[in-house]
Amino acid sequence: MSSTTARTALVTGAAQGIGLASAQRLRRDGCRVIGADLTEAAMEPVRGQFDGVVGVDVSDSAAVAALRETIGPVDILVQSAGVVGPNKPMWEVLDAEWDLTMRVNLNGIFAMMRAFIPSMKERGWGRIVNIASIAGKEGNPNLAAYSASKAAVIGLTKSVGKELATSGVLVNSIAPAVIATPMNLDTAPHVLEYMLSKIPMGRPGTVEEVASLVGWLASDECGFSTGACFDISGGRATY
């Protein structure tokens, strides 16, 4: 859409799944898109689909700050980097497993927003879309770390959205149910079956469906929504 023409978007977790589909959508909408993943090598297979690619560990605040200095300000930040974390009962989760899930899924969202929000505020326009999960609203059994991290992302988004409400910078989150992505290859089959059983439509969503919502949230057409959590769950969401 013309409203995003000439704007620069940074998409994390861009090598595959929701991140890649969101980047493709934003590029079709006229944005200059920079794709970020854990390493630049991870971006090689899809490099041609971006205007630039970078490697960054979003859980490393120093690395995120260095990225901000390298690429400069952006207009749109889509945060799709994430990990499933341990698939096991909560009481069996190790400290290292819990910490890694929180560092990537929550601390990464925090670090990236802290780095890129100031320049958005200065220019009076910005769009931030944080990929959360329906697990953050309802909790999925045997995914305690993941569910807790995504609940925190929803709460963080609501808080920051209110802080920036009059600045021209809108901050929203998306809570997908099961989406057909490579990340779900790491989800235990019985956990995946449970999640699919909760979806009234009886199927997983597609990355293109999520990307369509990202595209709207990143545009001028989204002008009166901030601090919100948008469900894309095939009917699973109940609040």
Active-site annotation, residues: 146
Can you say how many angstroms the Cα of residue 56 is from the centroid of all Cα atoms in its chain? 15
Residues across the chain = 239
Encoded tokens for 89: 């009962």
Encoded tokens for 60: 């490393």
Residue 93, SS3 per DSSP: coil
**How buried is 62 (Cβ within 10 angstroms: 0-12 exposed, 13-18 middle, 19+ buried)?**
exposed
Give the Cα-Cα-Cα angle 116, 109, 142 (nearest 5 degrees).
175
Nearest C-alpha neighbor of 210 from the set 182, 180, 171: 180
Task: Tell the residue number behind the tokens 């807790």, with chain if given.
Answer: 148
Cross-strand pairs, 169: 126
Work out the angle between the directed axes of helices 144-163 and 108-123 (0-180°, nearest 10).
Answer: 20
* Contact by Cβ (8 Å): 187, 144: no
Nearest C-alpha neighbor of 77 from the set 33, 21, 124: 33
